[in-house]
Amino acid sequence: MKKIVGHAVSNRGRVRENNEDNYLLGNCLNAESLDESETHFTQRAGLWTCAGVFDGMGGEAGGEIASNIASRVFQENTMNFDSFDREKISRHIEKTFAIANQAVVEERKKHSTCGTTGTVLITDGTSFKIFHRGDSRVYVMRDRKLYVLSKDHTLAQLKLDMGIYHSVEEVPERENHQLTEFIGMDYAGQAVPFESEWIEWKENDRILLCSDGLYDMCTSEMILKCLTMSGDVEKATHELFEMAMSFGGKDNITVIVLQLTDKKLLRER
């Protein structure tokens, strides 16, 4: 029987004073916004699984509060939906983004700058779909090639799309991190997240969700090599995290790696 196996690591990095990132993997999150957090996940294919990365923004406590709120909202709303079909799943996740947005909007009354990215993957082990606001990313390693499945909601990307910039080399560094979409910005509650199509999950795929603390430190070639060469998801997750740390760890780092397996696992958690 095939199983979905995942591993998550979240860490404040070498420079930041606290960890404003959070994650969701199955039912697990960094509930206390600890500087270091890690979890492992296994579940038989055929049941719906949710994984997400939430990169808080706002500095001081604001960012970690926003990412914690969002991760808790998704935890609470993705626990019992195995009877849903794909259409109902999509509507449910859209609604959950709206609930998370409203909860963070309420928090902004106390921390006016707080907000968080939200990059969420839903899968039953046969296919997956991405829901996304912000600049946290989803990659898939397939046939020894790396594909970015999400699109950054940043001022830099917007200007590239509009043709104002013609290459990434023209983009001022500050615009790479100015978000045009995030959870907590929509006071009217009308916006919906970007949604991908349903994507077939092929047997040897490895799926990576991460905050910009990983991909700002590591090139795509480095990420691909790690996902290709590492023996299991736990090792891959740790190697990606350590690689980001070795190149400076200038931001909080959150990494989730998922894969399918039909091998007997050495441990069940």
CA distance 18 to 8: 18
Token digits for 39?
A: 């979890």
**Owner of token pair 């910039």:** 165
Neighbouring C-alpha atoms within 13 Å toward the C-beta of 77: 21
For range 247-265, the mean pLDDT: 91
Report pLDDT for 190: 79
Instruction: Please give the torsion angle defined by the CA atoms of residues 28, 32, 34 and 37, in that order, rounded to the nearest 10 degrees.
Output: -10
pLDDT band at 260 (very low <50, low <70, confident <90, very high): very high
What tens digit of pLDDT does each residue of 177-220 get? 899 999 999 888 877 899 999 999 998 999 999 999 999 999 99
pLDDT at 268 over 70: no
On whether the CB atoms of residues 206 and 233 are closer than 8 A, the answer is yes
Token digits for 244?
A: 């980001």
- What per-residue string of b and e applies to 25-64 under the rule 16 or more CB within 10 Å gives b? bbebbbeebeeebbbbbbbebeebbbbbbbbbbbeebbbb
What tens digit of pLDDT does each residue of 13-68 get? 999 999 999 999 999 999 999 999 999 999 999 999 999 999 999 765 689 999 99
Three-state DSSP state, 46: coil
CA distance 89 to 73: 16
Report pLDDT for 267: 45
What stretches of 96-181 adopt beta strand conformation (E)? 115-116, 118-123, 127-133, 137-142, 145-148
pLDDT at 265 over 90: no
pLDDT band at 235 (very low <50, low <70, confident <90, very high): very high
pLDDT at 112 over 80: no
Neighbouring C-alpha atoms within 13 Å toward the C-beta of 243: 22
